[in-house]
């Protein structure tokens, strides 16, 4: 039995993760769940908080004292909490799955440091469909060559704080790297006023925030006389929660290292390798 700890149990993803663990069957069990200090749900049964069913685990405001209660920690909270979670997992050699987006270089340094002592898997998106999309984007970029402009449009709920989304950036990075570019050198994050005509070597991003949109991403390859669009739409957060549990199952027992969601997927899931650039 694999014991799972959930950070941010009172949040939207935290509740989805708890529910997914409870629905996963006897091979998974909720071991610990945290909420912020002072949160009204502190001390409540985490299962009742998420799905109205008892899990037998009360929420706490820290994983201190819980090290013996879980095997893998799943964190979808915020960049601000990452230092505490990576420090805890590094000290106690606990496997860590991170789906938090909006990370900067200093946060990636924290993940790398933790991975020296414990297995760590970080991915901006845990869904199988998105990771398949990344593979398709590499294939499309290699096949279409330089004659197509690339634009990325992403939409999320009004509460999402980082923009563009981590998934949109991962998609842009897949295109850029296949072209032999660095995303930082070719990304355009907004357009306004009158300027020069579009540079074909750039990758454009457009961001939408509104309502309760779970997550939608479209990459447009616009060429002369035709347009190819690769789109992924998430209907609910269970998609990401189930992907995170898949990652947790795969990560448990792995040696210390920094892994990605691609590592946790089988070759059959991802399809053939992309064609090399011509």
Cα–Cα distance, 54 to 201 (Å, whole number): 54
Cα–Cα distance, 55 to 17 (Å, whole number): 13
* 107: annotated active-site residue: no
Tell me which of 160, 182, 217, 232 is the catalytic residue.
160
Phi then psi for residue 188, to 5 deg, are -120, 120
The H or E element spanning position 216 is: strand 215-223
Tell me which of 107, 122, 156, 217 is the catalytic residue.
156
Cα–Cα distance, 19 to 21 (Å, whole number): 5
Per the structure block, which two tokens stand in for 118? 């414990």
* 92: annotated active-site residue: no
Q: SS3 for 159?
A: coil
Q: Which of 255, 18, 265, 267 is closest to 120 using CA atoms? A: 255
Q: SS3 for 91?
A: helix
Active centre residues (catalytic): 156, 160
């Amino acid at each position: 039995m694999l014991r799972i700890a959930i950070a941010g149990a009172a949040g939207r993803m935290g509740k989805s993760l708890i529910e997914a663990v409870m629905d996963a069957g006897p091979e998974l069990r909720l071991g610990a769940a945290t909420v912020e200090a002072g949160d009204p749900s502190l001390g409540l049964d985490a299962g009742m908080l998420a799905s109205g069913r008892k899990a037998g685990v009360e929420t706490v405001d820290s994983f201190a004292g819980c090290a013996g209660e879980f095997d893998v920690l799943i964190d979808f909270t915020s960049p601000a909490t990452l230092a505490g979670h990576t420090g805890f997992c590094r000290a106690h050699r606990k496997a860590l799955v991170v789906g938090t987006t909006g990370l900067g270089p200093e946060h990636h340094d924290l993940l790398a440091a933790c991975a020296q002592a414990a297995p760590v898997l970080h991915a901006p998106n845990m869904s199988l469909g998105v990771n398949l999309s990344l593979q398709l984007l590499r294939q499309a970029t290699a096949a279409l060559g330089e004659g197509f402009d690339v634009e990325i449009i992403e939409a999320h709920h009004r509460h999402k704080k980082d923009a563009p989304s981590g998934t949109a950036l991962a998609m842009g990075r897949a295109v850029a790297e296949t072209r032999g570019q660095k995303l930082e050198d070719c990304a355009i994050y907004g357009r306004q006023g009158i300027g020069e005509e579009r540079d074909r070597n750039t990758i454009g991003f457009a961001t939408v925030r509104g309502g309760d949109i779970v997550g939608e991403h479209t990459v447009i390859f616009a060429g002369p006389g035709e347009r190819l669009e690769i789109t992924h739409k998430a209907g609910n957060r269970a998609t990401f929660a189930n992907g995170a549990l898949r990652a947790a199952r795969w990560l448990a027992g792995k040696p210390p290292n920094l892994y990605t969601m691609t590592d946790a997927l089988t070759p059959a899931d991802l399809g053939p390798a992309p064609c090399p650039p011509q």
